[in-house]
Copies of this chain bind each other. A is one copy, B any other.
């Protein structure tokens, strides 16, 4: 018996798993996909280059070229606040719609094998999109290198747009994001003797001030944001240690890396000025998601015939599909999921309706042309 896509979505939604912990999700997918292939009497190859996630290889075409379709499968550390009957049974939540993405890719796979589509396709059920760089890990595993991938596609639900609306943009759709950490190490002193300190809070303040003042190209969307700051441990002791973390976001990952190197210069200068030493660390890095112009010009007009299309421009958020779009000509679209509500991604009430799955499958099928 074949599980329908809606039912698969409900099962996954009920049992959300965090990045690189998607064991049960992977097991469910593998079992369901293999049963469907057996049912339709289609040969597929299933690979698991990482401990979670899987790659399904379908060889329906005559040539050497492959299309890659990707869904992310991980959930978030958010406690669900919806009242749906397939609500999460644990402390985590599919609050970013990856349950829907997974069901779309699964439903699309079912149609492909049922209709014996005349193409070679790699279905990538990717783990760890939210953190831990799943796409990068899949690429680094080398598994994709055996395919001559001509184009890669991905979708993301979004309740900023109504159901039936597709949004994307020419060029960069998601920003490149580069996390940074700085630990300052100075010398603490009693607050009464500031001249005996090498004040790590002051070094941190200078650092943030200089970051604000680094020259930036006004034509290029760019933001340096600070998420966390800590300094000192007692009210009457000037901090000998401080910590700051944040991320650099822009349309161009090379520029982000350049800014990261500029930070090193800023910190060297601060060390000379203040005597406060530093440790600059790099956290996770997502390249920008860039839509290939040829794919965009080929498919967006087609999509526009069936769906409402919105050119939504760039988002400053990140997506690890960027690793794939850096390597292969790619096209990614937002899939409208609102029936009137607008909670936003990562919100404990975010819940796309099941019917978005059908829209997603239809969009993926358009990309087969």
Which residues of A are in contact with B by a Cβ distance under 8 Å?
175, 177, 179, 190-194, 201, 205, 208-209, 223, 225-239, 242, 245-247, 249, 283, 315-318, 346
Min CB distance A11 to B, Å, is 29
Min CB distance A43 to B, Å, is 43
Contact B227 A191 (CB under 8 A): yes
Min CB distance A288 to B, Å, is 12
Option from B192, B235, B318 in Cβ contact (under 8 Å) with A228: B235
Interfacial chain B residues near A227, Cβ < 8 Å: 191, 232-239
Option from B179, B191, B346 in Cβ contact (under 8 Å) with A249: B191
Contact A234 B239 (CB under 8 A): no
Please measure, in the bound complex, the distance between the C-alpha atom of A236 and the C-alpha atom of B236, giving whole angstroms. Answer: 31
Please measure, in the bound complex, the distance between the C-alpha atom of A237 and the C-alpha atom of B316, giving whole angstroms. Answer: 13
How many of these chains are in the complex? Answer: 2
Contact A228 B231 (CB under 8 A): yes
Q: Which residue on chain B has the smallest CB distance to residue A229?
A: B231
Of A201, A233, A317, chain B has the most CB atoms within 10 Å of the CB of A201
Q: Which residue on chain B has the smallest CB distance to residue A238?
A: B225
Interfacial chain B residues near A238, Cβ < 8 Å: 225-227
Contact B205 A246 (CB under 8 A): no
Please measure, in the bound complex, the distance between the C-alpha atom of A209 and the C-alpha atom of B202, giving whole angstroms. Answer: 10
A192 in contact with B235 given A205-B205, A208-B205, A226-B201 (CB within 8 Å): no
Please measure, in the bound complex, the distance between the C-alpha atom of A236 and the C-alpha atom of B238, giving whole angstroms. Answer: 28
Contact B228 A179 (CB under 8 A): no
Min CB distance A226 to B, Å, is 6
Contact B249 A192 (CB under 8 A): yes
A316 in contact with B232 given A238-B225, A239-B227 (CB within 8 Å): no
A235 in contact with B316 given A194-B225, A201-B229, A205-B208 (CB within 8 Å): no
Min CB distance A70 to B, Å, is 22
Option from B190, B233, B246 in Cβ contact (under 8 Å) with A235: B246
Option from B194, B229, B249, B318 in Cβ contact (under 8 Å) with A229: B229
Interfacial chain B residues near A192, Cβ < 8 Å: 175, 223, 225, 249, 315-318
Min CB distance A112 to B, Å, is 35
Please measure, in the bound complex, the distance between the C-alpha atom of A227 and the C-alpha atom of B227, giving whole angstroms. Answer: 20
Please measure, in the bound complex, the distance between the C-alpha atom of A245 and the C-alpha atom of B232, giving whole angstroms. Answer: 10
Option from B236, B245, B316 in Cβ contact (under 8 Å) with A193: B316
Interfacial chain B residues near A247, Cβ < 8 Å: 191, 235-236
